[in-house]
Structures are given as C-alpha cells and as structure tokens.
Amino acid sequence: MIRNQSGFTILEVLLSTTILSFLMLGVNTIVSNSTDTKDSVTKEDRAYLQIYTALNRFEVDFIQIYSPLYFTVKEKSLDEAAKERAEDEASDRDTYDNPNLAYQGSEKYPTISRKGEPIGAIVNEDKSSLIFSTMSNRRKIQDAKESRFAWVKYSLGKISDDEDLQGEELIRNYSAQDPYAKEFDWKNTEGQVLLQNVKSLTFWFYDKAKEKWVDKLSDTGVDQETPRAIRINLVWVNDLGNEVEFERTFRPLWPYFDTINDEKDRQAALKPKTGNDPDAAKDEDE
C-alpha cells in the first residue's frame, strides 16, 4: 500500500512566512512605540515633579516664616520715645522699659519689638530674589549645632557646570547655624539648585490696602514686614524649547492680628484717667 507523502508546497511556506513577518513587524512596532512613549512620559513627569518639588520646598519655608511683628509691634525709636515723653509728662520710659536705648541694630536684625525680640529683615532686592527668616529647619543629627530658626534665600543664578541650560537656575541658600549673627554670609553657605532652565521668576506680594498684587515688597505698606500672601510666577523651558508658565500662591501659618490697633488700645489703657473722665470719677466715689 502506498501512503500519501504530500506536505506544504513552497508557495504555501513562503506565504505563511510573509504573513508571520508582517505580524511580527506590527507587534515590534507597537512594543517599540509603547517603550518610547513610556520613556518620554517618564522623562516629562520627572521634569514636572522637580518643578512641583521646588515650589513645595518654598512653601515649607514660607508658611513658617517668622517675625515678632506678626503678634506685636516695633519698639519706638529714641526720637519717638522722647516725643512721647514730651507729650505725656506721666510717661517715664527708662532703659528697661525702652530696649531701644540699649539695642544695636544689624543687617539681619535692624530693629526690635516692643517686647524686646529681634525683628528679622525681609529682603526683596529685586523681583527674582527673596530673603527671610523661617522656623522650617529640623535637626537631622542629634545635638547638631543648628537652630530651628534659619535664614533662607531664593534667587536666580547659575552655579552648576551644565552648559546645555536654556535659562537660569532656581537656587536656595539655607543657613541654620548662628541665625542671630549680625550680618548675612551667603558666600559661605552651599547653594542648592532646585530647578534648571528657568527663564524668569517673579515674586508678587499682596497689598491689602490697595487690594492688588505688587512685585515689590516695599509697596505693600504696613505688610512689608509681615507678608500675608506671596504669589510665585515661574516660566520654565522644557527640553523641546517650549516655555511653560507656573503660578502658585502661598500664605503663612500665622493667624491675622491687627497689632497696630492692639497697641493703640494698650497705650490708651496705660494712660492715667483724668478728673473729667466719668469712669474715673465713678471709681473715686466708690
């Protein structure tokens, strides 16, 4: 008996191989595109994560900004104290009652509060820089010679050796050692690059009296030493050369106190009552 030994023809083999090749090419293309998309998205997410990390770093510092003026007022100067004594003969302010008689101001702490606390300066030299005192420092090493109080500076510049930058770098200088030193010494503090390829950075400060944002802290009037809100406008350049704008608003944790009116009420309460005061006459009758 003769069996049928016939199989696939050459044409059938070539046809099936061609079809399989097209299928494999499609699968390879899909996998390659998926891998490229994953790498692109991961790279983009990493860049945006760095931006959000930089802004969150500023938020941690600013919401814990410190100044005695958030809960008290400035101590009167010597001239103001002398004028006060001339207007009110009953006022007898000595060195103990007027710390300004003994206090010597400095670059970091130009004045003191009525209770004698040094008032840290808030420096806004230009629209892209800001210096202030914060309570955001935490010791990472036990018994380290660091204070919870620290000075922080945000500015634009370039401290890295990267020649491919498409802008400047957002730099954070931080000093928690000897925060009560008289002068700033940023040259001896190590700068931390928070973000690269920054085209512009602008700090905006809210002026409550004018109900608008201004780009100079000195234009905020009463709140120039106690900022109540700060807005950051940042323009960043991505790898494709496109400019992306970010804007965020931050507020300090300090509750709002009307320290000026509180001080006026305190001064009024300290003044002796006159004979024409009905309340004083009532007290004498009793």
- pLDDT recorded at residue 267: 80
Side chain identity at residue 206, one-letter code = Y
Whether residue 94 is predicted with pLDDT greater than 70 in this model: the reply is no
Structure confidence at residue 286 (pLDDT): 46
* Residues 207 and 223 sit within 8 Å (Cβ to Cβ): yes
pLDDT in tens, 33-84: 776 666 666 666 788 889 999 999 999 999 999 999 999 998 876 566 556 5
Residues whose CB is less than 8 angstroms from the CB of residue 187 and which lie 6 or more positions away in sequence, other chains included: none
Strand partners, 233: 202, 247
197 contacts 236 by C-beta, under 8 angstroms: yes
DSSP string, the chain: ---------HHHHHHHHHHHHHHHHHHHHHHHHHHHHHHHHHHHHHHHHHHHHHHHHHHHHHTTB--GGGTS-BPPPHHHHHHHHHH-TT----TTT-GGGT----SS--EEBTTS-EE---B--STT-EEEEES----SSTT-S--S-EEEEEEEE--S--TT-SSEEEEEEEE-SSTT-SS--GGGS-EEEEEEEEEEEEEEEEETTTTEEES-GGGGGGGGSS-S-EEEEEEEE-TTS-EEEEEEEE--SPPP--HHHHHHHHHHHHSPPPTT-HHHHHHHH-
The pLDDT of residue 88 is 55
Residue pLDDT, tens place only, 1-11: 455 556 677 87
pLDDT mean across residues, the chain:
83
Q: Considering only 74-88, 150-164, 272-286, which range has the smallest mean pLDDT?
A: 272-286
Split at pLDDT 50, 70, 90, the class of 281 is very low
Per-residue model confidence (pLDDT) at position 101: 60
Query: What percent of the chain shows pLDDT beyond 70?
Result: 79
Q: What is the pTM for the complete model shown?
A: 0.76
For residue 253, name the pLDDT band (cuts at 50, 70, 90): very high
Task: Work out the average pLDDT over 126-143.
Answer: 90
Contact 207, 229 (CB under 8 A): no
Cβ neighbours for 7, distance < 8 A, ≥ 6 positions apart: none
Confidence (pLDDT) at 155: 96
pLDDT at 227: 94
